[in-house]
Every structure is written in C-alpha cells, then in structure tokens.
Homo-oligomer: A and B are copies of this chain.
Amino acid sequence: MKEFNLIQRYFTPASLAPDTLLGVGDDAAIIQPPAHQHLAVCVDTLVAGVHFPKDTHPRDIGHKALAVNLSDLAAMAATPRWATLALTLPEHDDTWLTAFADGFHTLAREHGVDLIGGDTTRGPLTITVQVMGHVPPDQALRRDGARPGDHILVTSTLGDAALALAQWDHPNPAPTLRARLTRPTPRIAAGHILRGRAHAGIDISDGLVQDLGHVLKASGMGATLQAGALPLSEAFRHAMGDGTNWQYPLAGGDDYELLFTLGEADVEPIREQLAGQGCPATVIGRIEAEPGLRVLGPDGAPLTLEQGGYSHFGN
C-alpha cells in the first residue's frame, strides 16, 4: 500500500471518526473495532464494460462501486464503517478522478464510512472496494436460516435497473429507470430493521431467481414465487405497456434490493417498520420444504425463464 499519491490527493476524507486511528498514508490503516461487536467484511470488483457501460458518468461509477458493497453489508444487517479502494486506471485524468471521488465520498459521508486505504495502478478501468462494518453478535442476516412456511419479501421494486441497461442507448431513456441502474440505494436501514427477526436474507445483485437460489441452497429449502406479486415501478409498467417481460424483474440483476424471509407473525409489523423508513416491502412467495424453485405467472401457470441470472464464467 504505497502507490498512494493519487489516493491521498483525491480520496482522503475531510475528517475521520475517532475509531479510525490512522487513515490513508502509512503501510496500513489502523482502526479500533467496537467492543462486543462482530465485523462484517466484503469485497466487490466492478470492471468497465462488464459491470457498467463504459460511458457511465464517473460520479455514478464512484457511487456504484461503494453502493454495491454497502448493499452486501445491508444484506448482513451490518452498520458500515470503513472502506478501502483499489483503483486500476488507464491514465491519470483529473476530471474523471475528481468526479469519481465525489460520487464515492458523497455516498460514504451519507453512511458514515471512512476511506482508510487504497492502491492505484495503471491498467484497464477496474475498481475493487472492500467495506467493513459491525453487527451485534448473532444478529447477522445470513443466507442459511430460511424455514418452511416463511414468507419471502423484497424491498422496493425489481427489474428497473435491468430495463435501464437494455435501454442504455435509447435516445430518450426514462430518467427514473436509469437512476436505478447508475445510483443504486444500499438498504442499510432496512437491514437494521431485519436484525434478529428475518430468518434469512441476501441482496439481489445477480437477479431475483439466482439470489433466491443461493438462500434456498444454503438453507436446504425450496420455494414458490408469484410473478404477479413482484413489485414493479410505475416507470417500469409504463415502459412495458401491455405486456411485462418477466426476465427483467426475475433475472435481470443490479437491483440491490434486499430479499428476506419472515415467519408469518412478523410480516405485517416488519412491513410497517420498513414503510416507515420509506422502504416498502412486498411478499412475493413462500419457502417450502420441497427442494427447487417454482415460479408461477399471474395466471397461476408455471413460468419458464430464458436465463437464470448473470454469471461471469457460466458456472
């Protein structure tokens, strides 16, 4: 952690919280994790042209690189605190770096995250962010706790980002859809509400079906989804007109909404609490002991998907 002039120049936060003892500029940062809490740690890489269109605005790339990681912490019900940034850049472009750093820092400040370290290298645009947050012992929201009869819920709406990506080169893209793709909202507050109450949870980054599949596999369960119950935005419905392409909300990915399972008695109280935080949640199916995922269309007949979700290496 030495190649640090660029990180120091563009990314050093204006101030650091007291539990960040040493930030950017030494061989390593020194932090003081809170007593009696566990730490949640995750890392995600964004590659230009793979995870975002190459002409995405650098401010949006800075936002998204942090947001996708905060979404993973939200899906563990953790409180974000620290981040590191490894940035591989084709060239030193002041305008690009200033906008990227602004997008990153604006979201970081919003969630009280200190950037504590990083590395800059030259090469094709690739951004790896690691975030660390804390969570009370035994209250992390894991994938492996879904139980038969649990209701399956998701926050906000699905499919908007995938539709925005499909319309990326449209001359008049719908701005609300595009914002869902370029500036996802990590559901940190929702994660906190689910602490100790949801049986299992995950964030939807690779598509509902694939991510629910991870929960089912980890929990040894199956499920039935009701496509007709999927929460769709006004902009999405408007763009779809008479027919809905279920591929977007079921398998599109990039939603960064939380999927979680609740016992029956918790469904309404939790939905009310989430709505109170401006984050409505919708019941979209049930967990079942019988393995496999069954997706039913609005008419009650099974739906078949062209593709289950995104995979870099086809496995």
Contacts and interface: CB of A to CB of B under 8 A. Distances in A.
Contacts of A118: 43
Interface stretch (A82-90, A152-160, A165-173): A82-90
B41 A121 contact: no
Nearest to A92: B313
A239 interface: no
Contacts of A85: 43
Interface in A179-214: 202-203, 205-206, 211, 214
A215 to B, nearest CB: 10
Interface in A1-46: 1-3, 5-6, 21-22, 25-33, 35, 38-46
A221 interface: no
**Oligomeric state, in copies:** 2
Contacts of A26: 76, 142-144, 218
A134 to B, nearest CB: 9
Given A123-B50, A312-B120, A72 B27 contact: yes
Contact of A126 (B3, B39, B123, B142): B123
Interface in A119-133: 119-124, 126, 128, 130, 132-133
A47 interface: yes
Given A124-B124, A312-B3, A116 B47 contact: no
A117 interface: yes
A43 B41 CA distance: 13
A245 interface: no
A1 B133 CA distance: 15
B38 A21 contact: yes
B39 A2 contact: no
A109 interface: no
A311 interface: yes
A211 B2 contact: yes
Given A33-B33, A206-B3, A313-B6, A132 B41 contact: yes
Nearest to A134: B33
B84 A312 contact: no
Contacts of A124: 123-124, 126
Interface in A29-88: 29-33, 35, 38-47, 50-51, 69, 72-73, 75-76, 78, 82, 84-86, 88
Interface string A244-257: 00000000000000
Given A44-B119, A123-B124, 9 more contacts: A2-B211, A3-B312, A27-B72, A28-B78, A29-B42, A41-B117, A45-B128, A86-B86, A124-B124
